[in-house]
Amino acid sequence: MKETLMKMLEEREEEIIQIRRYLHENPELSFKEENTAKYIEDFYKGKDVEVQTNVGNGYGIIVTIKGAKPGKTIGLRADFDALPIVEETPVPFKSKNEGVMHACGHDGHTAYLLVLADCLIQLKSELSGTIKIIHQHAEEVPPGGAKSIVESGLIDDLDEVYGIHLLPMGPAGLVGYHAGFAFNGRAYMKLKIQGRGGHGSSPHLANDAIVAGAHFVTAVQTIISRRLSPFDIGVITIGSFDGKGTFNVIKDSVELEADIRYMTVETKETIEREIRRLVKGLEEEFGVTCELTYTPDYPPVYNNPELTAKVAETLKNANDPHIKEVREFPALAPSEDFAYYAEKFPACFFYIGCTPEGVEDPYFNHHPKFDIDEASLLVAAKAVGQVVCSLQE
């Protein structure tokens, strides 16, 4: 089966590329991917599979491929939403939707998985177990699509789940992996500090919210430097401080917003606890009142060590000319709602190098000039295909 599947994928490489280019030209934002979902649904029309649409809190799609032989039920996931970015790449298949761009590789994720799924459908008679293809909406915007798909109950029977991400951390042909906590979790914070406005000449008759806010900006960084172990990873970025007013008026209130990242559940709990403690202290020290909104978004991605070791071994022993190097990657700072699958099922989320050929300093995901070497799409399809075949043995 493996040899047949690899040959089928090689013969359909151009099709994968063309699907990716079509999706790249027609990106849609999270929770608004109606046409993309319709395109995916149409791809499966007439094929001998069960297709469930509008899964979860948006346009999620689950395609169930039942093999002729008993075996595990595994999930393969790809996301299909785009970002609110004005594209600046020179490619001829540039986005037709102004201000929307596939700047994270989700077009490539969907393209490879569509063709891989079709090949697996054709090989159903040789397939052991069941494969659930998870075409997921809204990865980029919390609460995301993954959590709602997990909560739908439609994938409760999974034994394992796998996914990949295109990353320009090496050339096409490179596959990366990382066992354990692999992607940061994240949370959103908004803090409104209410003081008392007044005349700039008479601060004793007012209560300056800017001074309290400025103190908080400095103090909150001590959570990272003085409350976390040096071996733990955490980031608190105050990305917005809305304190604009008039030069001779003491500000009545200010609002701060923060992006918070962490690599473990324990770190997540420590940061939230300490932020809440600092806010209470701010009220006491400055005599202000505070309104705190603290929303955990995505958990950290946890790659099951045993599954990840098997994936790495499978790909290192694949003897495939398109999979040229398999090596361990470091844990990565971004966040991914694949974490919700990994919370419930043994999971492995691994990485496909996609640095454009001849480029030494590639633009990273989410940049308006982000681009990929399309040779990486076949690598993704074959790498995931190799993993599927290894589970047949």
Residues annotated as part of the active site: 81, 139
Count CB neighbours of 276 within 10 A: 12
Q: Three-state SS for 341?
A: helix
> Which residue type does 310 have?
K
DSSP state of 389: H
Residue ranges of alpha helices (H) inside 287-363 are: 305-316, 339-344
| Rounded Cα distance, 209 and 188, in Å | 21
CB-CB contact of 346 with 193 (8 Å): no
Alpha-carbon 54 to chain mean position? 20
Q: Which SS3 state, helix, strand or coil, does residue 168 take?
A: strand
Name the strand (E) or helix (H) holding 72.
Answer: strand 69-79
- 172: DSSP letter: T
First to last CA, the chain: 10
Amino acid at 87: E
The first and second tokens of residue 20, run together, are 């990716």
Contact between 114 and 377 under an 8 Å Cβ cutoff? The reply is no
